């Protein structure tokens, strides 16, 4: 049994649901419509304690589902008064059921069955990394929380975890979840969303949404319309519902930090250094390297005019990104 939310025009509506195996897929079923405010089922007898209305417990049992106060208290804990959450949070957290562990080979076999979109989301939410390809080759028991769940229960589970994402993490999360690196084959910046133009990310993100909606292994028996409306639409909201300042921040990082890196890489390749060693050189050392190459290419000494112009432009850009703004 799990607690689910559904977005409405006025906010959210909450439900108690269960996942049951039906044919090749796990399907979700509504048990109780909790309305827009599940906290109305919480009772406070006094002190730092609470319990869930016993009438709700009986209503659940009338559907043939066994439950108890302890299970219900964990499901409703997010709606408990903040001061009681603070007092009881450590005990609730320790009581949460941990995903089962399996031997290495069995774990890897199980992981192959989980959908890549689900695995990538959980990996980013746990580790905060955009490069999750290598992690997916390791046995990770925490991914077993995806076992024996319907598409709806998986989405509700991950949606709850996404609530802690900070605004500046959203683009990186979307980039990772939808494997947008597949649209950018160049190796060096493949897992760096900040190296992309916003317009490119927008276009490829929407393409990835549509591609995922057509994936039957992701839909788990649901229609394209259902998964787009009920689950994937929230990513469109999450991605585009940024303030202009946040998107501007992302673009500034792209045109600042990664432009700097690209210039360093190009200059290092041109002058025969690594980017790291080139960055450590002093202004005097850089000028010496430039002047030696300039003597070879200067048109007055029989060099190539276009190559000399390219050298001058590249060196000006390099000096600028390294903070040496005086003319040379």
pLDDT of residue 328: 45
* 21, β-bridge pairs: 26
- In this model, does residue 153 exceed pLDDT 90? yes
Terminal Cα distance for the chain, rounded: 71
pTM of the complete model? 0.73
Query: Contact at 8 Å (CB) between 76 and 52?
Result: yes
- In this model, does residue 228 exceed pLDDT 90? yes
Average pLDDT over residues 290-308: 83
pLDDT of residue 310: 85
pLDDT of residue 65: 93
Average pLDDT over residues 254-272: 75
pLDDT of residue 271: 85
- In terms of C-beta density within 10 A (0-12 exposed, 13-18 middle, 19 or more buried), how is residue 60 classed? buried
Classify residue 81 by its DSSP letter. Answer: -
Q: In this structure, what are the phi and psi dihedrals at residue 150, rounded to the nearest 5 degrees?
A: -75, 170
- For the chain, the average pLDDT equals 87
- Domain spans of the chain, in order of start: 2-95, 104-242, 248-321
Average pLDDT over residues 107-124: 95
- In this model, does residue 199 exceed pLDDT 50? yes
Residue 124 tokens, joined: 């980013």
**Residue 256 three-state SS:** helix
With cut-offs at 50, 70 and 90, classify the pLDDT of residue 52: very high
- In terms of C-beta density within 10 A (0-12 exposed, 13-18 middle, 19 or more buried), how is residue 199 classed? exposed
Query: Contact at 8 Å (CB) between 32 and 59?
Result: yes
- In this model, does residue 210 exceed pLDDT 90? yes
Average pLDDT over residues 120-140: 91
pLDDT of residue 201: 84
C-alpha to C-alpha distance for 174 and 170, rounded to whole angstroms: 6
**Residue 88 three-state SS:** helix
């Amino acid at each position: 049994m799990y607690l689910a939310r559904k977005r409405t025009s006025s906010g959210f509506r909450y439900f108690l649901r269960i996942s049951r195996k039906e044919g090749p897929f796990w399907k979700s079923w509504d048990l109780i419509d909790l309305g827009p405010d599940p906290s109305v089922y919480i009772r406070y007898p006094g002190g730092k304690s609470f319990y869930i209305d016993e009438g709700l417990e009986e209503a659940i049992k009338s559907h043939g589902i066994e439950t108890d106060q302890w299970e219900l208290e964990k499901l409703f804990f997010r709606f408990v008064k903040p001061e009681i959450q603070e007092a009881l949070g450590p005990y609730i957290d320790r009581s949460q059921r941990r995903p089962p562990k399996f031997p290495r080979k069995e774990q890897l076999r199980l992981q192959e069955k989980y959908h890549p979109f689900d695995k990538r989301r959980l990996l980013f939410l746990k580790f905060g990394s955009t490069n999750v390809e290598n992690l997916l080759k390791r046995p990770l028991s925490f991914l077993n929380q995806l076992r024996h769940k319907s598409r709806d229960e998986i989405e509700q589970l991950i949606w709850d975890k996404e609530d802690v994402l900070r605004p500046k993490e959203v683009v990186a999360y979307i980039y990772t979840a939808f494997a947008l690196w597949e649209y950018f084959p160049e190796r060096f910046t493949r897992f760096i969303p900040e190296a992309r133009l916003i317009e490119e990310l927008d276009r490829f993100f929407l393409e990835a949404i549509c591609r995922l909606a057509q994936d039957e292994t992701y839909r788990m028996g649901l229609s394209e319309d259902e998964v787009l409306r009920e689950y994937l639409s929230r990513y469109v909201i999450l991605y585009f519902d940024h303030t202009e300042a946040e998107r501007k921040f992302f673009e500034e990082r792209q045109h600042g930090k990664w432009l700097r890196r690209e210039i360093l890489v190009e200059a290092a390749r041109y002058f025969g250094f690594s980017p790291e060693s080139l960055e450590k050189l002093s202004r005097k050392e850089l000028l010496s390297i430039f002047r030696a190459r300039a003597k070879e290419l200067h048109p007055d000494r029989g060099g190539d005019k276009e190559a000399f112009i390219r050298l001058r432009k590249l060196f000006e850009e390099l000096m600028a990104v390294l903070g040496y703004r005086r003319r040379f």
